[in-house]
């Protein structure tokens, strides 16, 4: 499916925004993490001065070394990230990642401890301060290396946990986008089924006029042209104003009245407040077409079609009433839904409502006691305003 340029621009802007947010979050975490590490070491140094009493260096030198070691840890972790991205480790599973994680932490800690001890030896050599610790440099380096490896292993775990969560989040977003594309494709497929069904029925109504009444036939051609134009234009829209839908239905009924003459009678009961609301295109047309086909065409005496539109309890309530009996699978049934009807148009209308509004909208058929069938549609008003 080809994504429209406007949609592509939005997706690119969204990706760029997410990358900037990730960069800011990384800087914040690094600042808080290593800032907390520095503060913790300085607090321990101030609270337990006897721990460094054997070190003859001035206290300022020791504080400088603590700051240097912290800054070095930040640099080691920061410049490890490009290698992790280049090697593709962010996409690995935990079984393959775990040994790599420990190996990376060991190398990071070796660099961190090696540079730190080199700095300490260099300072002592320059200042002429002798080595006064009761443990050998090798043992102290090993202890520092092991401690650093645990600390950096924790950093790497947090880092990869974050990217695992980010990858899962991006997967969810892609699934939602794919579902939206599938929904759009299904809607277009449903519209492609509705429109030819509607056009062919309208042409059948026009055919009888050509020889009997040329003047009326010309008027009917104009009405049919309006129907076709509306059908083509509305196929590009998810919703249309109810007023436009009602105008097209009037044109359709005018064509049908030419064929059925006095057998088809129409009564409208429309609340003016409903005209500014929006409905899925060809929804009312489908209900009226079904009413003419099954309530008028099959009855020698014809009947009356009533169209009612109301705003009730936060919903747009549409009713199309026609004479007849509701029969599903050869037997009388009350309260049958549109999904059980054998009409393709009603099935498509019910499916489109489900895809647009989910469980918040419904289309149903029910039989009344006075031999009438009522097709009803309920649509949330807050979702349908133009």
> Percent of the chain beyond pLDDT 70?
74
pLDDT in tens, 155-209: 888 888 887 887 777 777 777 777 766 666 665 655 555 456 556 766 766 776 7
Q: Are 197 and 344 within 8 A, CB to CB?
A: yes
Reduced to 3 states, what is the DSSP secondary structure of residue 327?
strand
Phi, psi dihedral angles at 349 (to 5 degrees): -60, -45
User: Is pLDDT of 132 > 80?
Assistant: no
Phi, psi dihedral angles at 197 (to 5 degrees): -60, -40
User: Rounded distance, CA 95 to CA 277, Å?
Assistant: 57
Phi, psi dihedral angles at 189 (to 5 degrees): -65, -40
Select from 216, 309, 302, 315 the least CA-distant residue to 262.
Answer: 302
Average pLDDT over residues 111-139: 67
Hey, which CATH number is domain 208-383, 3.30.565.10, 3.40.50.1000, 2.60.40.10, 3.30.230.10?
Answer: 3.30.565.10
Q: How crowded is the C-beta side of 177, counted as CA atoms within 13 Å?
A: 13
User: Rounded distance, CA 359 to CA 347, Å?
Assistant: 16
Q: Are 364 and 335 within 8 A, CB to CB?
A: yes
Higher pLDDT, 142 or 50: 142
Phi-psi region of 110 (alpha: psi -120 to 50; beta: other; left: phi over 0): alpha
What is the model's pLDDT at position 25?
85
Regarding beta strands 240-241 and 264-270, do their DSSP bridges make them parallel or antiparallel, or are they unpaired? unpaired
pLDDT in tens, 289-342: 889 888 888 888 889 999 999 998 888 999 999 998 876 543 333 333 343 344
What is the model's pLDDT at position 13?
58
Reduced to 3 states, what is the DSSP secondary structure of residue 267?
strand
pLDDT in tens, 70-121: 888 888 888 888 888 888 887 777 788 888 888 998 998 888 888 877 766 6
What is the model's pLDDT at position 320?
95
User: Rounded distance, CA 90 to CA 218, Å?
Assistant: 70
What is the model's pLDDT at position 226?
84
Regarding beta strands 315-323 and 372-380, do their DSSP bridges make them parallel or antiparallel, or are they unpaired? antiparallel
Phi-psi region of 353 (alpha: psi -120 to 50; beta: other; left: phi over 0): alpha
End-to-end, the C-alpha distance of the chain in Å comes to 28
Select from 339, 344, 337 the least CA-distant residue to 374.
Answer: 337
Regarding beta strands 331-332 and 327-328, do their DSSP bridges make them parallel or antiparallel, or are they unpaired? antiparallel
Assign 6 a pLDDT band (cuts: 50, 70, 90): very low
User: Rounded distance, CA 224 to CA 192, Å?
Assistant: 18
| Start and end residues for every CATH 3.30.565.10 domain found in the chain | 208-383
* Full-model pTM: 0.51
Reported residue count of the chain is: 386
User: Is pLDDT of 122 > 80?
Assistant: no
pLDDT in tens, 223-232: 888 877 887 7
């Amino acid at each position: 499916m080809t994504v429209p340029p406007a949609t592509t621009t939005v997706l690119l802007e969204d990706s760029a925004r997410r990358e900037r947010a990730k960069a800011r979050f990384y800087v914040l975490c690094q600042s808080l993490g290593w800032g907390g590490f520095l503060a913790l070491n300085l607090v321990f140094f101030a609270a337990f001065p006897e721990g460094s009493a054997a070190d003859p260096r001035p206290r300022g030198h020791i504080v400088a070394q603590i700051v240097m070691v912290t800054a070095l840890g930040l640099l080691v972790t920061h410049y490890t990230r490009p290698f992790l991205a280049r090697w593709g480790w962010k996409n690995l599973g935990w079984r393959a990642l775990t040994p790599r994680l420990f190996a990376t932490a060991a190398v990071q800690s070796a660099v961190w401890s090696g540079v730190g001890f080199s700095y300490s030896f260099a300072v002592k050599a320059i200042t002429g301060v002798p080595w006064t610790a009761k443990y050998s440099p090798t043992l102290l380096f090993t202890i520092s290396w092991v401690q650093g490896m645990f600390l950096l292993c924790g950093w790497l775990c947090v880092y990869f946990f974050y990217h695992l969560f980010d990858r899962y989040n991006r997967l969810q977003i892609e699934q939602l986008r794919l579902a939206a594309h599938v929904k759009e494709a299904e809607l277009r497929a449903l519209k492609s089924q509705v429109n030819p069904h509607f056009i062919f029925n309208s042409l059948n109504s026009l055919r009888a006029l050509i020889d009997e009444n040329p003047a009326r036939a010309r008027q009917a051609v104009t009405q049919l042209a309006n129907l076709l134009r509306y059908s083509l234009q509305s196929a590009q829209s998810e919703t249309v104003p109810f007023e436009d839908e009602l105008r097209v239905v009037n044109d359709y009924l005018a064509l049908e009245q030419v064929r059925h003459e006095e057998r088809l009678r129409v009564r409208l009961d429309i609340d003016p407040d409903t005209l500014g609301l929006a409905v899925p295109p060809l929804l009312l047309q489908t209900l009226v077409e079904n009413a003419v086909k099954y309530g008028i065409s099959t009855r020698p005496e014809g009947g009356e079609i009533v169209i009612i539109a109301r705003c009730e309890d936060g919903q747009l309530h549409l009713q199309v009433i026609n004479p007849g009996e509701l029969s599903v699978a050869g037997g009388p049934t009350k309260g049958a839904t549109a999904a059980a009807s054998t009409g393709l148009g009603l099935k498509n209308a019910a499916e489109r409502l489900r895809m647009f509004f989910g469980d918040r909208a419904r289309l149903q058929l029910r039989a009344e006691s006075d031999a009438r069938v009522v097709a009803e549609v309920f649509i949330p008003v807050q979702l349908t305003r133009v």
